[in-house]
Each structure stands twice: as C-alpha cells, then as structure tokens.
Structure 1
Amino acid sequence: MIIKTLASGSKGNAYLLSDGHSELLLECGISFKKIREGLGFNLSKIAGCLVSHEHGDHTAGVKKMLQETSIPLFASEGTLEALKIQDKQMLKLVNKTPSSVATFRIMPFEVQHDAVEPLGFMIDSVKTKERLVFITDSYYVKYKFPKMDYLMIECNYAADILEANVESGRVHRTQKKRVLQSHFSIENVKDFLRANDLSKLKEIHLLHISDSNGDPQRFKQEIQALTGIPVYIARSDKNE
C-alpha cells in the first residue's frame, strides 16, 4: 500500500491510500480544490472517501466533492446526519460490519471523540493482502488489531507539553480538558502499540500532531525507539 498525506492537523486532514489497483480518500478536511491539486488532478482511481466524523477539519471539502465528482462518501449514520447534506452518493457504514469498496474491504469500528458517531477503519486490500488501521481523533481505542501492515494513528499531544502550556497560560484549563477527552496522546500511542501484534507492521504514520502541544521529531524518535519500525510524520505532500 502507498500512503500520501495531503493535510494533517487541526487546520485540515486528508490522506490518499492506494494498493496499486484502486484508491481511497481518507478524510476530506480541506477544500476539494486543494485535494484536486494535491492529487495532480487525477481522481480516476478513487473508489470512495471515508470520513471518520463530522468536524470541519475532516469534512470541509465533502460538499464540493459530492457536487463535482461521482466519488461516494462513506461514514457512520450519525456522521452523515450531522453533515446535513442530502446526496445519493452518501453511504452508511455500520460499526463492526464490513463493506467492500473496489479492491478494499473496510471494517469500521467505534472510537471515542466528542462527535456524534465517530469511527476508525481497518482496511484490507484484496489485491496486496495487506492491512491498514486508521485511527484519529479518539482518546481511547478498546480494540486490538491482528496482522497490521500499516498503522495511521493520531499522536496529538504529550501530557508534559500540554501541562507546561497550561501552567504558562498558553492553553486554558477548559481546553486541556477537551484535549484529554477527545484526542490520542503519545502516551496513548505507546500503550496501543504495546497491546497489539506488531510482527507484520511495516510503517507507522503519526497523524494530527498539535502545533502547540506536540513535538513531531520527539514523537518520531520515541515511537521508533519503542518499536524499531519506520515512523513517518504526516505532513502535506511529504513524510519526514
């Protein structure tokens, strides 16, 4: 599988997943014009767009995508209702019920976030026989995932950086509470990795890192040291 980051973070999230046969857009949280540009205006292989939840940094480009293309949108019933858009291209995903989209088999699962019905995705390619797990905007994941080849996971903040920002006044205590109850920290990522089978894991992609409460290079070094697996920081048009 090939993973391309178009945008990642509180200003917008969008990723492209390809297995060499078909493609999926994961999130649509920037303008669809920017998504087109980021993909070199080649949308011919995109079989669908998966959206984890309704917040604008994950859905900003959805309306234009539905208006201008035949790309179907897949999300939970709660997310689709929260978007308040009526379109026949909007298709419902049901927690722990598999769906097939082109060469991909998608298993949605519930995550914990301050949204109506947020989901994560376990995605298998029937062509490459590889598995990707996608988790963003969640403070807890209760599931374990066997035989992961790729992991795309939110690593939003570090507890010590967040607390230092609260003490300095850069972050209000009410904002701290919201972060703790809606996002995955570096500590959460480490616990998740310790709890799962990493024997097949080839790549870890760290997503949605906070500009103020995160440290990309520190996070990359700590996760690589823990796992011995290549770690990539999700940034627009490049992975470092």
Structure 2
Amino acid sequence: MGLVITTIASGSKGNAYHISDGQTSLLLEAGVPFKQIQKALKFNLQSPVGCLITHEHMDHAKYTNQMLSAAINCYMSTGTASALNIEHHRIKTIQANKQYQIGTWTIIGFDVQHDVNEPFGFLIRSKEGDVLLFATDTYYIKQRFSGITHMMIECNYAQSVLDQNLEDGKIHNFLYKRVMKSHFSLENLIEFIKANDLSQVEEIHLLHLSDKNSDEKLMYETIAKLTGKRVIIAKGE
C-alpha cells in the first residue's frame, strides 16, 4: 500500500495531518478539533497509535486535550510539554536524535529553529521502509538527511511577496522580521533541497503557506522544476 498522507488542515488557523502505512495510523499536530479530524477521514479512522506535536503554538497544539481524551498518546519534546503545562499519563516526552518505536512506526525528533520552547521536526520511518521528513514552523534546518521517500515541509512565504507587502504597508516591520525568524521561506526550502539527497523522494508536500505572504503557483512550479518530483500543496478545511 505504501505511505498515505492526508492533510486535514494546514496554515495559521490550524494544522493537522494523518499518515497511514496500511497497518497503523499516526496523527501529526493537534491544531484542530478531534471531530474535524474524524470528519475529514470520513470517520474511517484506524485507532491512531499516537499524535506527534512539533511545538506549543495553538495552531499546532490547541486540541491536545481532545487527543488525550480520545486515548491517543501525544509525543513531544520536554520543552513543549512544559509550555503546554498539561498533566496527563498520555503525554509522552521524547529527546532529540533518539529513536522511538510507536506501533509500526519508528520516529526520531530533531531540533528546528522557531520562537518557542524546544520545537521539533520528525523523521518517521514505516515498517515497509518509507521515510517521511516532517518539518514546519522553522526558519532553518541544520540537519542533513538521506533515504527520504516523502517530505512534508513548510513553505510559508516567498521573500519577494513579503518584501512587496512591507513596501505596500500591508505588513508591519516587526511582523516582517518575525516571519523571517520563525518560518521557512521558498528560498530557504530551495537551499535545503539542494543540500539533501532527494534521489529516493516520491512526493513533496508543501505545508503552512501564508495567506498573505505566499505565492502558490510560484512555489509549486519552482519546487517541481527544481526536483522533478510530485509536488502537493497541503490544503485542508
């Protein structure tokens, strides 16, 4: 069957994704109500073995308690758990660069750069050998990867669009600077792709596009031309 990726929601209003290897399913992020997740998956939701949460911002973690109430273990860094301040036996803290087994999945959390307390990206491997790189809300990824078959990676803004919005007064200087120090741009993504081995990649999902600072057509065409891979713009409700 291979790895199946479903975008439930992607963007500043909320983020949630579902992956399945045909045996067990895994949720990524808890930024929308659990009922929305069930509806998006047509209530055909295999019991998820867990939910990975990258950081504490509400568009990624607001509905953590609903996941816990649904008996879903939530995996995150110690820093994220501390920031969320939720006491529950299903909160599972993990350490960066250590391997963990969650059902049929093997996961490794890695450090990313964002204005929060210990944010993570995740490298997720299925029993069948698919390797998914999941990274969002970061302006820089220092690690290099090989053997990736699927990418789910932020492409939040294009520098040209952001610059034009600043010039037109559509964005304040403070927010302009914050965007560049907290999110992955098209330009950063291009450099990241050039620095990594994408020879085994089957598809690239572009996540968390900004409503105001992105250019979907430009991003799709640029990454498709650069990589020669199938590119998917992540869209949800």
**Is TM-score (shorter-chain normalized) higher than 0.5?**
yes
Aligned equivalents of 1:89, 1:40: Cα separation in 2: 25
User: Which SS does the other structure have where 2:234 is aligned?
Assistant: strand
Match of 1:216 in 2: 216
State the match for 1:84 in structure 2: 85
CA distance in 2, matches of 1:216, 1:200: 25
Matches of 2:32 and 2:19 in 1, distance apart? 17
CA distance in 1, matches of 2:4, 2:188: 25
Q: Give the equivalent residue in structure 1 for 2:146.
A: 146
2:157 is aligned to 157
Select between 144-153 and 32-41 the one with higher mean Cα deviation. Answer: 32-41
Q: Distance in 2 between matches of 1:216 and 1:31?
A: 26
> Which residue of 2 is the match for residue 59 of structure 1?
61
Letter paired with 2:226: L
* Amino acid corresponding to residue 183 of structure 2 in structure 1: H
| Alignment gaps of 5+ in structure 2 | none
- Is the 1:21–1:45 contact (alpha carbons within 8 Å) kept by the matching residues of 2? no
Residue 42 of structure 1, CA deviation: 3.4
Offset, 1:48: 0.3
Question: What is the match of residue 229 of structure 1?
Answer: 229
Query: Equivalents in 2 of 1:66, 1:130: separation in Å?
Result: 27
Deviations 1:202-229 (A, max 9, x none): 0000000001000112101110000100
SS in 1 for 2:183: coil
SS of 1:193 mapped into structure 2 = helix
Name the residue aligned to 1:72. Answer: 73
Identity %: 46
Contact 1:32 1:62 in 2 (8 A): no
CA contact (8 A) 1:106 1:122 kept: yes
Give structure 1 stretches of 5+ with no counterpart.
Answer: none
Query: Paired residue for 2:101?
Result: 100
Structure-2 residue corresponding to 1:15: 17
- State the TM-score, normalizing by the size of structure 1: 0.96
Distance in 2 of aligned mates of 1:22 and 1:193: 29
Report matched runs for 1:128-207 at 5 Å: 128-207=128-207
Secondary structure in 2 aligned to 1:235?
coil
Q: Structure 1, residues 117-150: CA drift from partner, whole Å, max 9, x if none?
A: 1000000012x11100001000000001111000
Between the aligned partners of 1:131 and 1:150, the Cα distance in structure 2 is 6
- Equivalent AA in structure 2 for residue 163 of structure 1: D
Letter of the aligned partner of 2:144 in structure 1?
K
Q: Deviations over 1:187-213 (max 9, x none)?
A: 011000000001100000000000100
Backbone CA RMSD of aligned residues: 0.9
Matched, 1:45 2:62: no
Equivalenced residues, count:
235
Deviation track 1:138-188 (CA, whole Å, cap 9, x = no partner) reads: 000000111100000000001110010011111000001100100000001
Instruction: Output the CA distance in 2 between the equivalents of 1:144 and 1:84.
Output: 32
- Structure 2: how far apart are the matches of 1:157 and 1:97? 31
Instruction: State the SS of the aligned residue for 1:105.
Output: strand
- Cα shift at 1:41: 2.4
Q: Is the 8 A contact 1:3 1:15 kept in 2?
A: yes
C-alpha distance in 2, partners of 1:39/1:170?
37
Distance 1:62 1:102 in 2: 20
Partner Cα separation in structure 2 for residue 40 and residue 186 of structure 1 = 33
